[in-house]
Amino acid sequence: MAIKIEKKIKGYNVVKPEDKAAPAPAAAPVKDTAPVAEVIQMHESLERPETLVGNTYKIKSPLFEHALYVTINDIVLNAGTPYEQRRPFELFINSKNMDHFQWIVALTRILSAVFRKGGDVTFIVEELKAVFDPRGGYFKAGGVYMPSIVAEIGAVIEQHMKSIGLIHDPEMSEATRQLIAEKRAAYEKAAAKPAAAPVGAATAASQAGDSASSAESHTNASGFPAGATLCAKCNTQALVLMDGCQTCLNCGYSKCG
């Protein structure tokens, strides 16, 4: 291929074989960008930092003489970036009761190993909440049924995952809230006994006190009607019979759709 030289030749040099090596690529121009923190991905080989953040939850069960204290520590991923997030890293269970020491230690080590493995660890919640005690479950404060102590540990982990944004509760619509409030008011009105006509001021005050105490006696520990049964959806004693259909006054679940 012929190349036409249009400029005057001022000098020349012989190209040697060693000079035919590929030239080094030109360095890309450096742009002025803001410093970005190193993004750390969760991995099983990730070393434990010196300091972790976490929460401790108390579990008081009628199946145990002493309370259980569940501590969940989190690792902060992508610190200092818009993608910063907390993820469970380890779990500890402590109690004065040494009768169940072996399975508590085993559960602690297995759950911590699953957390450190990374990925989607939310499945742990459903697995633990599906464990049933052959002796029967119990109701915790608020009227929520727990089939076993292991299930309540799962509920604690679920509560913690919700607090750090790993699990998101579906928001109940305003229409559903209003419908539940209307159904509860209708049920309480139908269950209330008609008050007698007042005779005097003292009688009216006495009847008001009796009505207040009667209202309190007609509610269970969770604040729902005393005759309410367990809801299969939210595990709360809030299921009542209305218009021939079982309806939950807590989550709105109904067998009639």
Beta bridge partners of 86: 76
Report the relative pairing of strands 245-248 and 229-230 from DSSP bridges.
unpaired
What pLDDT is recorded for position 108?
A: 94
Cα–Cα distance measured from residue 237 to residue 219, given in angstroms and rounded to the nearest whole number: 10
In this prediction, residue 59 carries a pLDDT of 92
**Which pLDDT belongs to residue 212?**
43
Residue 69: Cβ within 10 Å count:
14
Kindly give the interhelix angle for 101-117 and 149-163, rounded to the nearest 10 degrees: 30
d(CA 234, CA 245) in angstroms, rounded, equals: 17
Give 10-residue mean pLDDT values along the chain (257 residues): 69 63 59 52 68 92 87 89 88 87 92 89 92 87 84 93 84 70 74 54 48 51 71 75 77 73
Q: What is the pLDDT of residue 204?
A: 46
List, in order, residues 6 or more apart from 168 with CB less than 8 Å away.
Answer: 162
Report the distance separating Cα 169 and Cα 163, nearest Å: 11
| Closest to 243 measured CA to CA, from 231, 255, 225, 233 | 255
- Give the number of C-alpha atoms closer than 13 A to the C-alpha of residue 44, restricted to the C-beta side: 3
pLDDT of res. 166: 87
| Residue 53, helix vs strand vs coil | strand
State the pLDDT at residue 93: 93
Which among 114, 154, 143, 146 is positioned nearest to 223, based on CA atoms?
143
Q: How far is residue 210's CA from residue 23's CA, in Å, rounded to a whole number?
A: 98
Angstrom distances, CA of residue 226 to CA of 230, 241, 248? 11, 12, 13
Q: Tell me the one-letter amino acid at 107.
A: L
User: In the prediction, which pLDDT does 155 show?
Assistant: 93
Q: In which element (H, E) is residue 125 found?
A: helix 123-129
Check: CB of residue 18 under 8 Å from CB of residue 63.
no
**Separation of alpha carbons 22 and 194, rounded Å:** 100
